[in-house]
Amino acid sequence: MTRLTPKNARTFILDNTALMAPPHVPEVLLHLADEAHDFWLRTEEELAEIGLPPPFWAFAWAGGQGLARYVLDHPATVQGKRVLDFASGSGMVAIAALKAGAAEVTAADIDPFCATVIALNLEANGVKADFLDADSIGTDDGWDLVLAGDVFYDKPLAERLTPWFTSLKARGADILVGDPGRAYLPKTGLQSLAVYQVPVTRVLEDAEVKRTTVWRWVSAASA
């Protein structure tokens, strides 16, 4: 793979993943890596050669699984609403929101593989969403609800997200964050809605099960 196109992205995804349900969200089917360690190391090297990021989209991360579980268990959270699934990855949370009755969902991610893998995963689940391949931080398209799974792993990103989420909240949007204890989750301004024990891939995490909390953004937060 020397240059990424939709055709060879699709081939790469289908050759390196299998259609399966994440352990904590059996209602959703995703194209995921079933040999996580070998796939991660091999593709990270291969993709680095052509300047592409590691395949985060090929794994059901704990924060996303927790957030998807919450949405499916509490459909009133999304029913009839316009939803942004920020840093969508595989599209798992977007798909959960659609299955729970969201009126309209936009899955946003800047990874060049995500347009293809999310399209494949939407098709596998029989649902439809829009895809946004631009950096949405700082923008506001009038969403009723923003869902963000596992986004506070990086300090520069967290420093950009905090004022954006706070401004969206101030104008009336609801912000839900799924987080398994990442280092840069704000320490204040959050309300715990649910806690899950989420099975994860040990080679990518520090445990086989991650305690994952779904938080509601309630006020200006400080990291």
Name the pLDDT band for 9 (thresholds 50, 70, 90).
Answer: confident
pLDDT at 223: 41
pLDDT in tens, 34-45: 755 567 667 767
pLDDT at 118: 98
pLDDT at 1: 39
Most confident of 8-17, 35-44, 55-64, 91-100: 91-100
Pick from 222, 213, 214: nearest CA to 166: 222
Least confident of 33-37, 78-82, 93-97, 140-144: 33-37
Average pLDDT rounded to a whole number, residues 181-189 = 95
Any idea what DSSP says for residue 179?
A: E
Name the pLDDT band for 138 (thresholds 50, 70, 90).
Answer: very high
Average pLDDT rounded to a whole number, residues 203-211 = 80
State which H helix or E strand residue 95 sits in: helix 92-99
Go through 152-187 and write b for each residue having 16 or more CB atoms within 10 A of its CB, e for each that does not: beeeeebeebbebbbebbeeebbbbbbbbeeebbbe
